[in-house]
Amino acid sequence: MKNKPDNFHFQAKTALNNPSLQQALSKATTHILNKRARAIQELTDLETLRDRARRIKEQTIAQLNHYLLQLESEVRKAGGKVYWAREARDAQRYIAKLVKQKKAQLVVKGKSMVSEEIGLNEYLEKLGLEVVETDLGEYIVQLAGERPSHIIAPAIHKSREEVALLFQKKLGTNPEAEISKLTQVARERLREKFFQADIGITGANFAIAETGTIVLVENEGNIRFTTSLPPVHIVLMGIEKVIPTLADLVVFLKLLPRSATGQKLPSYVSLITGPRRDGEKDGPEELHLIILDNGRSRILSEPALRESLYCLRCGACLNICPVYQKVGGHAYGSVYAGPIGSVITPPLVGLYRARALPYASTLCGACRDICPVKINIPHMLLQLRQGLSYRWNRNLINPGYWLEKLLTITWSMGMKDEGRYRFGSKVARLLQRPFLKKQKISHLPYPFSRWTKSRDFTPLAAKPFRIWWEDNQRSSKDHERAD
């Protein structure tokens, strides 16, 4: 069964009950966070860089049309083709047409979140193509028939033993769980694919409007292969990936790798401008840039959510999130997991379907502190929660919602007036009596049973503070009078 955002609670529980996943998650997130912390420390002007990066994103997104049109014209000048896709199916169809025209049989892919978002692999496989993910993590995940569970470390949930078993089953290799051997297997298997492929598909980390340049950041070299060998290169990018100039890129190249993998620079940064030029021996004959909306304009039109479009997809907020650390990426049931995923999934797939995600956060704010462009994720989660409570959506016909609403209204009525508050606190003390055993409350009725399942509840004190205060005031007045 495929994970869905609708089933967050169930999927989270499954993850919590999976000890090997728990171990893998804890090890991996701790490791990446430590590396990041070291790399970030080297930046003496970190706050300036973050502000600058955010400002560039703000200003670009505010004039998105302008920069996208500039990008389009520059890509065309460089000999590339540009296609504007409103929905996932527009992009799918365009790629299908290309596939047909080129009589393509084999497609190699570099890691692209957007292609996950539009379900491109399944779509192309249905058309009878062989689609091969070439990033090692993605390759593992594809062989396992799963989805990536982390933006930058797709197979973060798998141990080396699991990978070895998977390779044995799918590729018939030795079940040796040595990481260098497993990597070697991928190198050999995928090398041939690169040479045979008819089409290479990648995402884009950035697209430079000024020069029509696509920027791709990676460590393995698979993206370089994907953009160098197949005769056709298709770039899939979300509308938010454009930045104005090459000079702007500096800031992002300083922040992105450090935030993502704790590196100063990754092994390879490719700046691709158009297809290969006359006389060049390799590089694609054709370069197609697909600019995809697919719900992003909905985010754009919501002032409260707009800054989620500034996201660089570094994955740092996933690593630091206490919830992600416990449930991993698959639990979210969305292409975009973790804190930023909980913000952008609802506008992309619908508020009702993703209704559990805005609540999948303690609002601790660690994501905002670690974000290289200072995206205020907790505030946006609050906005989404608000939307779920009042805006028309299917949540409003959910009995759980009404129970919550009833409790909230009753509670807020009780809090609105001193007399009611005092009365309420007396009633609550009466109500807690049957549950009070040895100064502890270990069982409460639904929904509070969810607390007492694993934690005791603090009983209401015999007397509220205000009673003490009033006595204290009275006795000090008495003292004054006595004096």
Partner 1 sequence: MKEQTDKTRLKLLKRLQKALNASPSANVAAGPCPASSSRACSVATPNLIPLLEEEITKTGGVFYLARDKEEIAQYLITLAKRVNAKTIIRDNSILLQGLKLDGVLNNEGLQVIIDYSGTRPAKETNEDKAAWRQPAKDAALGVTSIEYILADTGTVVIKSRPGLSRTLSLVPPIHVAIGEERQILPGLEALFSQGANLQPGSAVIFITGPSRTADIEQTLTIGVHGPIEFHLILLPDE
Partner 2 sequence: MKAHLFVTCLVDQFFPEVGIDLVKCLRLAGVEVHFLTGQTCCGQPAFNNGFWREARSLAKRFIYLFEKADLIVIPSGSCASMVKVFYPVLFKDDPILLARAQALSQKVYEFSEFLVKLLGIETVASKYTGKITYHDSCHLLRELKIYEEPRKLLKAVKGVELVEMENSEACCGFGGIFSIKNSDISAAILQEKIDRIRATDAKVVVANDVGCLMHIAGGLSRQNLTIKTRHIAQILAAD
User: Where do contacts with partner 2 occur on this chain (CB under 8 A)?
Assistant: 9, 12-13, 16, 322-323, 325-327, 358-366, 368-369, 379, 382, 384-390, 404-405, 408-409, 411-412, 415-418, 421, 425, 428, 440, 442, 447-448, 450-451, 453-461, 463-470, 472
Q: Which residues are bridge partners to 288 per DSSP? A: 81, 234
The whole-angstrom separation of Cα 106 and Cα 431 is 68
Q: Is 202 exposed, middle or buried (0-12, 13-18, 19+ CB in 10 A)?
A: buried
The whole-angstrom separation of Cα 173 and Cα 157 is 21
Between 202 and 355, name the residue whose CB sits nearer to partner 1.
Answer: 202
Q: CB of 15: closest distance to partner 2 in angstroms?
A: 9
Q: Which residues are bridge partners to 206 per DSSP? A: 215
First to last CA, the chain: 79
Residue 225 binds which entry of partner 1, partner 2, none, CB below 5-8 Å type-dependent: partner 1
Q: Is 279 in the site for partner 1 (CB under 8 A)?
A: yes
With CB under 8 A as the contact rule, the residue among 12, 251, 348, 373 that binds partner 1 is 251
The whole-angstrom separation of Cα 60 and Cα 463 is 58
Residue 282 binds which entry of partner 1, partner 2, none, CB below 5-8 Å type-dependent: partner 1
The whole-angstrom separation of Cα 389 and Cα 299 is 19
The dihedral sign for the CA sequence 260, 251, 239, 204: negative
Q: CB of 473: closest distance to partner 2 in angstroms?
A: 8
Q: Is 81 in the site for partner 1 (CB under 8 A)?
A: yes
With CB under 8 A as the contact rule, the residue among 20, 26, 41, 59 that binds partner 1 is 59
Secondary structure class of 124 (helix, strand, coil): helix
Strands (E), 315-452: 436-437, 440-441
Q: CB of 323: closest distance to partner 2 in angstroms?
A: 6
Residue 28 binds which entry of partner 1, partner 2, none, CB below 5-8 Å type-dependent: partner 1
Structure tokens at 476: 């000090």
Between 279 and 445, name the residue whose CB sits nearer to partner 1.
Answer: 279
Q: Is 324 in the site for partner 1 (CB under 8 A)?
A: no
Q: CB of 456: closest distance to partner 2 in angstroms?
A: 4
Binding residues for partner 1 restricted to 156-215, rule: CB under 8 A: 156, 158-160, 163, 179-180, 182-183, 186-187, 190-191, 194-195, 211, 213
Please name the residues in contact with 348: beta carbons below 8 A apart, sequence gap of 6 or more: 117, 294, 295, 296, 298, 299, 336
Q: Is 365 in the site for partner 1 (CB under 8 A)?
A: no
Stretch that binds partner 1, among 61-69, 326-334, 439-447, 454-462 (CB under 8 A): 61-69
Backbone angles phi, psi at 200, to 5 degrees: -115, 135
Q: Which of these, 349, 357, 323, lies nearest to 8 by C-alpha position?
A: 357
Residue 388 binds which entry of partner 2, partner 1, none, CB below 5-8 Å type-dependent: partner 2
Binding residues for partner 1 restricted to 91-150, rule: CB under 8 A: 97-98, 101, 134-137, 140
Q: Is 35 exposed, middle or buried (0-12, 13-18, 19+ CB in 10 A)?
A: middle
Stretch that binds partner 1, among 121-129, 248-256, 332-340, 463-471 (CB under 8 A): 248-256
Residue 67 binds which entry of partner 1, partner 2, none, CB below 5-8 Å type-dependent: none
Q: CB of 386: closest distance to partner 2 in angstroms?
A: 5
Stretch that binds partner 1, among 266-274, 321-329, 382-390, 406-414 (CB under 8 A): 266-274
Stretch that binds partner 1, among 122-130, 168-176, 296-304, 445-453 (CB under 8 A): 296-304
Between 306 and 326, name the residue whose CB sits nearer to partner 2.
Answer: 326
Q: CB of 202: closest distance to partner 1 in angstroms?
A: 12
Between 101 and 458, name the residue whose CB sits nearer to partner 1.
Answer: 101
Q: Is 377 in the site for partner 1 (CB under 8 A)?
A: no
Question: CB–CB of 257/35 below 8 Å?
Answer: no
Question: CB–CB of 368/327 below 8 Å?
Answer: no
Q: CB of 414: closest distance to partner 1 in angstroms?
A: 37
Q: Is 258 in the site for partner 1 (CB under 8 A)?
A: no
Q: CB of 299: closest distance to partner 2 in angstroms?
A: 19
The whole-angstrom separation of Cα 96 and Cα 288 is 13
Between 179 and 461, name the residue whose CB sits nearer to partner 2.
Answer: 461
Burial 112-145 (b: 16+ CB within 10 A, else e): bbbbbbbebbebbeeeebebbbbbbbbbbbbbbe
Residue 73 binds which entry of partner 2, partner 1, none, CB below 5-8 Å type-dependent: none
Question: CB–CB of 184/53 below 8 Å?
Answer: no
The whole-angstrom separation of Cα 294 and Cα 44 is 38
Residue type at 412? S
